Amino acid sequence: MTQPATRIDTKFAELKAAGRKAFVAYVMAGDPDEHKALEIVKALPAAGVDIIELGIPFTDPMADGITIQLAGQRALNAGMTLQKTLDMAAEFRKVDDTTPIVMMGYYNPIYSRGVDKFLADAKAAGVDGLIIVDLPPEEDDELCIPAQAAGLNFIRLATPTTDEKRLPKVLTNTSGFVYYVSVNGVTGAAEASGDSVGPEVARIKSHTDLPVIVGFGVNTPEKAREIASIADGTVVGSAIVNQIAQGKSVEDIAAFVKSLADGAHSA
């Protein structure tokens, strides 16, 4: 299915034209509270973030390590909901209409809201794409295909265990970019290695023209540069969320993010 270009497509076209790699930052919506989380997100583009991944707090985040689990718990304890996550995206759009937002989470809150209502509300809030980690390609009719019909990219994860037989199935209805999970296991569990990631990125690229972004296990400017140099960009989540967990100021968090973005952009 051909869909109109999203902010994600536009961003990657701009980066490609400039010969730059993408830096993607993940934060949990509502962590540590609604107000500070919004201030952090608003500070990300100026810190060099090309795409924002906004986590949807959920009670049972099976793909996430302890850092992201605790972030979700903090957000939920502070009263964050799916509606407030959408409101946060809409508030961000009042000051920034170009930086792509990808909502990342699990299917249950979306299913509970109703797929059609969620997609209409997400589009209206200025969301550009979805990463829903517990919906495999076999369930594409549930959300993936309706999302693309609504003008949202549906971004799929590929992992070290996604073999040659499985990969084409994973890529079939994917759009925006492919998110390669560099390590087996949950977020924040291990460090990515360029030696192991390089061949996997090349393998995925042999099956798709979409950008391949690598995440999980990237936690320093040096690692961001190493991984971005062999992919189309890199994602950092747990290392940023750790800064939030430590109670750092928005300015300090933005400075840390900028060091990571500078690393990725120097690749």
The per-residue pLDDT for 67 is 92
Q: Residue 196: its pLDDT value, please?
A: 87
pLDDT score at 251: 98
Contacts of 234 (CB under 8 A, 6+ apart): 21, 22, 23, 24, 213, 214, 215, 218, 224, 227, 228, 264
Residue 217 pLDDT: 86
* Structure confidence by residue, pLDDT tens digits, 16-47: 999 999 999 999 999 999 999 999 999 999 99
pLDDT at position 203 is 95
CA dihedral sign, ordered 189, 191, 196, 198: positive
Check residue 190 and give its pLDDT: 62
CA distances from 95 to 5, 34, 87 (A): 21, 17, 13
Full set of structural domains in the chain with CATH: 7-265 (3.20.20.70)
Active site residues: 53, 64
- State the alpha helices, DSSP H only, in the chain: 7-18, 34-43, 66-77, 82-93, 107-113, 115-125, 144-149, 167-171, 194-205, 221-230, 238-245, 250-265
pLDDT reported for residue 187: 56
| Residue 2 confidence (pLDDT) | 61
Encode the chain (267 residues) as per-residue pLDDT tens digits.
467 899 999 999 999 999 999 999 999 999 999 999 999 999 999 999 999 999 999 998 887 889 999 999 999 999 999 999 999 999 999 999 999 999 999 999 999 999 999 999 999 999 999 999 999 999 999 999 999 999 999 999 999 999 999 999 999 999 999 999 987 755 555 677 778 899 999 999 999 999 999 998 899 999 999 999 999 999 999 999 999 999 999 999 999 999 999 999 999
